[in-house]
């Protein structure tokens, strides 16, 4: 993990004091609601339907066990004893009082955490693969570059008041687990000889106008990372639309200019900046990379015989191994994902007890480090294979052992109308109804990988556009309805889901999902996954069945 030095610590301590002073001025009536809104957003504080919501940054989803325990403690002391893992690898708490937020931030700063730029029209938390550093298919561990960008983007003098929010994501593996095609900037890191190169995709995004990013630069040597980002941000800050918040994201600018013109403008700007003082030095890259050196793995052998025996003896463990455990690049180890998608619990919600337990397991079965993935689950990156069974038993006892990773019930879901003032409709009850209806493991397993994503409004926090099945809450004359779309995907071959047709009432949604799954089972050839089937046959057969007149 990145290790704070005195510089980093002083910065976040001073930032807490700065925010405390801003809060005091607001409470004293010196700032209007609108003025304070912009200041609190830059520190992650929303005022929600029921109470404030504080979004705490988890840079690129990496946490230490100490930090997770501190979060558990904060939910106990300032909140209702639970937190929520977000689709951008952060943690939210839903009930903090505005007056005590500076105290919460001060507590966070003690464990080198903050809420800086987790909301507002600025550069947000930089995200990456939740398996970074341990994935068997990885070429470049992107975390050091995420950290370099985090530092560069923190209270940037020029780019903290952008037309709209701005999200950057890195991927350094074969599979894209970081959704780089649907970020404002998606960066693909790869290796050539001794050097690391970056490809830049710009203008992807979800929200009201979903778009896949355009490649504007390939093979940029690593030392130019910050100057090239500066060039992109300057073009966006100057020319991105500010007259209409729905047309203010960079994707609209790139589309309006055309990617070719946008690229030419960025290149012209970059020519002025390249090789300037913000060019990364070898010493700085090495300093940050050194923080992410692999931990001291004890020599271990793979344990196929032991695991086979345990899997045979415990079918539920077998299912968990199949879906929730990924290959590790070091022999004898595995990457385990602890699902928060237990039926009856809002996706991503975790209690203080669960957080403390996950922290303990990160210590006992690893090196005290863990991750949060954008699918709203915990990841333990370094589990010795001989401890997998014990970990699963303990996780299962605390409701974190569901074997549904990547399956229909591993639903990605925003907080929706139960909590969020932007939402048109509730999303959590829809997720729960689907999880209750489709609870048979054999059936889920037979269906295979299906990403079902739910957003309560077109801001798309639940990433519905890139769900194999996407559900969007809409408002129809004051009533909650749900639009269903098929065929989206967030991975390498990213695509946007196509809307089936008219929306449904909440009661109808589960039945419609059932019909969609029937069509899939009728249409699929051999082991063809759901997404491939939808791509092959198109949405017509689904539409026909779903909208067929009764009788």
Q: Which residues contact another protein by CB under 8 A?
A: 5, 7, 10-11, 14-15, 17-18, 21-22, 25, 30, 35, 38-39, 121, 151-162, 226, 234, 237-238, 242, 272, 277-278, 280-281, 284, 287
Cβ-based nearer residue to another protein, 32 or 549: 32
Cβ-based nearer residue to another protein, 129 or 269: 269
Cβ-based nearer residue to another protein, 159 or 542: 159
Dist CA 454 CA 485 (whole Å): 10
Helix (H) or strand (E) holding 305: helix 304-313
148 within 8 A of 280, measured Cβ to Cβ = yes
Cβ-based nearer residue to another protein, 14 or 309: 14
199 within 8 A of 188, measured Cβ to Cβ = yes
Nearest to 321 by CA among 396, 372, 373, 431: 396
Cβ-based nearer residue to another protein, 10 or 476: 10
The answer for residues whose C-beta is within 8 angstroms of residue 545's C-beta and 6 or more apart is 515, 516, 518, 519
Cβ-based nearer residue to another protein, 286 or 518: 286
Count of alpha carbons within 13 angstroms of residue 189, beta-carbon side? 25
Cβ-based nearer residue to another protein, 241 or 445: 241
Phi, psi of 41 (to 5 degrees): -60, -40
- Work out how close the CB of 432 gets to another protein at its nearest, in angstroms, rounded to a whole number: 38
Cβ-based nearer residue to another protein, 276 or 315: 276
- Work out how close the CB of 154 gets to another protein at its nearest, in angstroms, rounded to a whole number: 6
Cβ-based nearer residue to another protein, 9 or 421: 9
- Work out how close the CB of 147 gets to another protein at its nearest, in angstroms, rounded to a whole number: 11
Q: Cα dihedral angle (261, 267, 269, 272), rounded to 10 degrees?
A: -160
- Work out how close the CB of 544 gets to another protein at its nearest, in angstroms, rounded to a whole number: 49
b/e per residue, 408-432, with b = 16+ CB within 10 A? Answer: bbbbbbbbbbbbbebbbbbbbbbbb
- Work out how close the CB of 278 gets to another protein at its nearest, in angstroms, rounded to a whole number: 5
Question: DSSP per residue over 270-304, as a string?
Answer: HHHHTTSTTSPPHHHHHHHHHHTPPP-PPP----H
- Work out how close the CB of 48 gets to another protein at its nearest, in angstroms, rounded to a whole number: 21
Nearest to 164 by CA among 241, 87, 239: 241
- Work out how close the CB of 43 gets to another protein at its nearest, in angstroms, rounded to a whole number: 12
Cβ-based nearer residue to another protein, 159 or 520: 159
Q: What is the CA radius of gyration of the chain?
A: 23
- Work out how close the CB of 183 gets to another protein at its nearest, in angstroms, rounded to a whole number: 20
Helix (H) or strand (E) holding 55: strand 52-56
- Work out how close the CB of 264 gets to another protein at its nearest, in angstroms, rounded to a whole number: 15
Phi, psi of 251 (to 5 degrees): -60, -35
SS3 for 97-159 is: CHHHHHHHHHHHHHCCCCCCCCCCCCECCCEECCCCCCECCECCCCHHHHHHHHHHHCCCCCC
- Work out how close the CB of 258 gets to another protein at its nearest, in angstroms, rounded to a whole number: 20
Dist CA 363 CA 360 (whole Å): 5
- Work out how close the CB of 262 gets to another protein at its nearest, in angstroms, rounded to a whole number: 16
Dist CA 230 CA 422 (whole Å): 31
Q: How far is CA 167 from CA 38, 150, 179, 447, in A?
A: 18, 11, 11, 33
Cβ-based nearer residue to another protein, 151 or 343: 151
Cβ-based nearer residue to another protein, 256 or 308: 256
Cβ-based nearer residue to another protein, 157 or 296: 157
Cβ-based nearer residue to another protein, 9 or 393: 9
In the numeric block, which tokens belong to residue 404?
């549904």
Extract the runs of DSSP E, i.e. beta strands, from 323-450.
325-327, 333-338, 349-351, 369-372, 378-384, 412-413
- Work out how close the CB of 23 gets to another protein at its nearest, in angstroms, rounded to a whole number: 12
Nearest to 545 by CA among 492, 500, 497: 500
- Work out how close the CB of 38 gets to another protein at its nearest, in angstroms, rounded to a whole number: 5
The three-class DSSP label of residue 535 is helix
Nearest to 275 by CA among 238, 320, 228: 228
How many residues belong to the chain?
551
- Work out how close the CB of 44 gets to another protein at its nearest, in angstroms, rounded to a whole number: 16
Nearest to 457 by CA among 434, 435, 482: 482
């Amino acid at each position: 993990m990145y290790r704070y030095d005195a510089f980093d610590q002083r910065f976040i301590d001073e930032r807490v004091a700065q925010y405390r002073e801003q809060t005091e001025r607001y409470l004293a009536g010196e700032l209007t609601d609108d003025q304070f809104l912009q200041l609190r957003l830059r520190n992650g504080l929303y005022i929600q339907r029921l109470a404030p919501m504080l979004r705490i940054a988890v840079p690129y989803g990496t946490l230490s066990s100490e930090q997770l325990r501190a979060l558990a403690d904060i939910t106990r002391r300032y909140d209702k004893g639970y937190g929520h893992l977000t689709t951008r690898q952060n943690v939210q708490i839903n009930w903090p009082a505005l007056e005590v937020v500076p105290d919460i931030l001060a507590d966070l700063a003690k464990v080198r955490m903050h809420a800086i730029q987790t909301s507002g029209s600025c550069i947000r938390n930089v995200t990456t693969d939740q398996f970074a550093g341990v994935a068997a298919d990885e070429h470049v561990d992107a975390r050091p570059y995420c950290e370099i960008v985090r530092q560069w983007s923190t209270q940037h003098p020029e780019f903290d008041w952008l037309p709209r929010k701005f999200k950057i994501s890195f991927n350094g593996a074969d599979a894209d687990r970081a959704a780089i095609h649907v970020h404002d900037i998606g960066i693909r890191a790869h290796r050539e000889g001794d050097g690391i190169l970056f490809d830049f995709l710009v203008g992807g995004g979800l929200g009201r106008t979903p778009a896949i990013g355009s490649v504007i630069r390939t093979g940029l040597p690593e030392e130019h990372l910050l100057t090239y980002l500066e060039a992109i941000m300057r073009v966006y800050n100057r020319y991105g639309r500010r007259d209409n918040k729905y047309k203010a994201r960079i994707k609209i600018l790139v589309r309006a200019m055309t990617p070719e013109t946008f690229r030419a403008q960025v290149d012209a700007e970059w020519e002025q900046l390249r090789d300037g003082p913000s060019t990364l030095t070898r010493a700085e890259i090495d300093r940050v990379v050194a923080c992410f050196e692999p931990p001291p793995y004890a020599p271990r052998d793979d344990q196929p015989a032991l695991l086979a025996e345990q899997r045979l003896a415990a079918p539920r463990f077998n299912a968990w191994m199949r879906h929730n455990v990924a290959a590790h690049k070091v022999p004898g180890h595995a990457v385990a994902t602890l699902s928060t998608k237990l039926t009856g619990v809002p996706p991503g919600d975790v209690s203080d007890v669960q957080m403390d337990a996950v922290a303990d397991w990160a210590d006992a079965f690893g090196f005290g480090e863990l991750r949060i993935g954008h699918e709203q689950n915990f990841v333990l990156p370094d589990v010795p294979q001989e401890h997998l069974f014990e970990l699963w038993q303990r996780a299962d006892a605390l409701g974190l052992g569901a074997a549904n990773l990547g399956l229909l019930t591993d639903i990605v879901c925003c907080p929706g109308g139960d909590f969020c003032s932007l939402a048109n409709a509730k999303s959590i009850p829809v997720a729960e109804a689907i999880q209750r209806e489709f609870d048979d493991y054999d059936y889920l397993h037979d269906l295979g990988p299906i990403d079902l994503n739910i957003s309560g409004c077109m801001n798309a926090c639940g990433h519905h556009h890139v769900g194999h099945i996407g559900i969007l809450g809409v408002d129809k004359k004051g009533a909650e309805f749900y639009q269903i779309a098929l065929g989206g995907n967030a991975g390498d071959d990213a695509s946007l889901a196509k809307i089936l047709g008219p929306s449904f009432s909440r009661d109808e949604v589960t039945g419609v999902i059932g019909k969609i799954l029937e069509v899939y089972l009728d249409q699929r050839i051999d082991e063809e996954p759901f997404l491939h089937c939808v791509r092959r046959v198109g949405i017509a057969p689904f539409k026909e069945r779903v909208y067929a007149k009764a009788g």
